[in-house]
Amino acid sequence: MMHIGACIASLLGQGGSRRYGLTWKWIRFFKNDRDRRDLVTCGSAAGIAAAFRAPVGGVLFALEEMASWWTSGLLWRAFFTTAVVAIILRALIDVCLSGKCGLFGKGGLIMFDVYSANISYHMQDVPPVLLLGVVGGILGSLYNFLLDKVLRVYAIINKKSVTYKIFIACTISIFTSCLLFGLPWLASCQPCPLDSTEDCPTIGRSGNYKKFQCPPGHYNDLASLIFNTNDDAIRNLFSKNTDAEFQHSTMLIFFVTCFILSIISYGVVAPAGLFVPVIVTGASYGRFVGMLFNSHTNLNHGLFAVLGAASFLGGSMRMTVSLCVIILELTNNLLLLPMIMIVLLVSKTVADAFNGNIYDLIMKAKGFPYLEVHVEPYMRQLTVADVVTGPLQVCHGNEKVGNIVHILKTTNHQGFPVIDEPPHSESPVLYGLILRAHLITLLKKRVFLRTPVRIGSDAFRHFSADEFAKKGLGNVDKIEDIKLTEEEMEMFLDLHPFTNASPYTVVETMSLAKASTLFREVGLRHLLVIPKRTT
């Protein structure tokens, strides 16, 4: 859902889709890097809010994980987005409660309500919680490590052909189906609880107590977890007053199964997320730990499952504030706030000692350009002059068309410094920065001059704002599509009116660490390095 929300926002940020007739005039105002970035951030917040019925948690997730540059304006936009999601979700829930949505219409704004006014905990409950945090940190870092390796293997296989992608997906699907059908045979039948408010046992798609080859009045606890949706499995694990419903072996088998299947299933050509599998896996080992400490703690097994899910989320995703609020909104369990805070902090601290968070590892495995939040220590010993490479490609304020075409065809840079030289200035001086997309637009419009003179701001009369707006993915103009005559190649373009005359610049002696931090936190695309003046 988070990815879906971000994709919809990105679609709006690139002007909609002409293929599907989703273009409106008002969308063109968002066709720039800043608004597109903000829209994707708000879209991810909306996805979290819709998936977990956690509007405030969605805002905090966008703040903690998505945005590197946060403003008060973006804060209220994200809050407004999730508020709209909550209102629409409430309306749809009311419709589904009438029975029009089938098996998927259950639940409310609180997905896994484990609230209890009788919750109490003492100092003797802290050691098991700390242990959960340590275990969550170790398992979370191991999960990230294995997932990174699996994704790299899939990336190598997927490069071969589409057939390999489909084969892997089919193989894993068949293996998963066979495994999940066979595992319940390892569990023994349990007598139905006498105080149960639900039917026991049940046969079919609904119901928590699955019969699965058991005699009348008995149920298979492992089948009750496997043959349910992930949401129902989480609800069963989080449920209070269910300490006697699951066996130790069942929890251990279910945890190992979820841990392995969630790793090998992610990365195949099928829509699969991270949040819910991680929550299910964490809840299973959390409940198992609760069983082990049953006689040494006041917390019931359902609350241990909540803490286990929090520890595994913290160990794999390395977020604290947003995860804490999301879990509170998921469970309506405010009384457990101190314990959730402790387990998240411990799991994150332990996991950080081994590797990075899961999102960073996935981006690296997929080869996306990405800057770490924290700079590497060696960067503090270098300056920006130590890492810049040549040859430098520049444009002059009045540049020959042929030179511009040559630069665009021989480089992949998306921006070029514009230099003024005599007679436009006493000595060579940086005038600003011009984008590749803008140069291509100027070439397409053919606003050429026969002599290298400045034409001033009157040049804008030949253009509309849409022509300089950022193009969507797949709609980018290419220099190879522009055909120019020999006569036009000898003409000139005055770049001054179309150049950003105030780009971000740093001197060549600036620390590389400081420049990297500036580049990431301000959300820059280009950073110009200029020589330090000696006079």
The Cα–Cα gap between 15 and 102 comes to: 36
What is the residue whose two structure tokens read 């740093």? Answer: 506
Q: Write out the two tokens for 478.
A: 């290419």
Per-residue pLDDT in tens (0 to 9) along the chain, 535 residues: 788 888 888 777 666 556 656 666 666 666 677 778 888 899 999 999 988 888 999 999 998 888 777 788 889 999 999 999 999 988 887 777 776 666 555 555 556 666 555 667 778 888 889 999 999 999 999 999 999 999 988 888 888 888 888 898 899 999 999 998 888 888 888 888 777 667 777 766 666 777 787 888 888 888 888 888 777 788 888 887 777 788 888 899 999 999 999 999 988 887 777 888 999 999 999 999 988 888 788 788 888 899 999 999 999 999 999 999 998 888 877 888 889 999 999 999 999 999 888 988 888 888 887 787 788 889 999 999 998 887 788 898 888 999 999 999 888 888 999 998 877 677 788 899 999 888 988 888 888 888 877 776 666 666 666 666 666 555 567 888 888 888 888 888 888 888 899 999 999 999 999 999 888 888 888 899 988 876 5
| CATH 1.10.3080.10 segments of the chain | 110-160+230-365
Give the pairing type, strands 218-220 and 189-191: antiparallel
Q: Write out the two tokens for 144.
A: 């990230």
Task: Show Cβ contacts of residue 436 under 8 Å, excluding neighbours closer than 6 positions.
Answer: 408, 413, 414, 415, 416
Query: Quick check: 125 and 298 in contact, CB under 8 A?
Result: yes
What is the residue whose two structure tokens read 């708000």? Answer: 42
According to DSSP, the residues that pair with 522 across neighbouring strands are none
CA angle 146, 178, 210 (to 5 degrees): 105
Which CATH code fits 384-530?
A: 3.10.580.10
Burial of 306 (0-12, 13-18, 19+ CB in 10 A): buried
| Helix 126-158 vs helix 358-365: crossing angle, to nearest 10 | 10
Give the DSSP letter string of 487-520: HHHTSEEE-GGGSBSS--EEETTSBHHHHHHHHH
Q: Write out the two tokens for 407.
A: 């630069």
What is the residue whose two structure tokens read 């304006």? Answer: 73
Q: Give the start-end residues of each E strand in 474-527.
A: 492-494, 505-507
Homologous superfamily of domain range 110-160+230-365: Clc chloride channel (1.10.3080.10)
The Cα–Cα gap between 448 and 493 comes to: 5
* Torsion sign (Cα): 348, 350, 352, 356: negative
Q: Write out the two tokens for 487.
A: 């006569």
Instruction: Compute how many other C-beta atoms are within 10 angstroms of the C-beta atom of residue 124.
Output: 11
- CA end-to-end distance (rounded Å), the chain: 57
Distances (CA, A) of 19 to 5, 11, 39, 475, 477: 20, 12, 21, 11, 17
| CATH 3.10.580.10 segments of the chain | 384-530
- Tens of pLDDT along 356-385? 889 888 888 888 877 877 888 899 999 999
Query: Quick check: 43 and 5 in contact, CB under 8 A?
Result: yes
The Cα–Cα gap between 11 and 157 comes to: 29
- Long-range contacts of residues 482-488, Cβ cutoff 8 Å, at least 24 apart: 482/405, 482/440, 482/443, 482/444, 484/401, 484/405, 484/443, 488/401, 488/446, 488/448
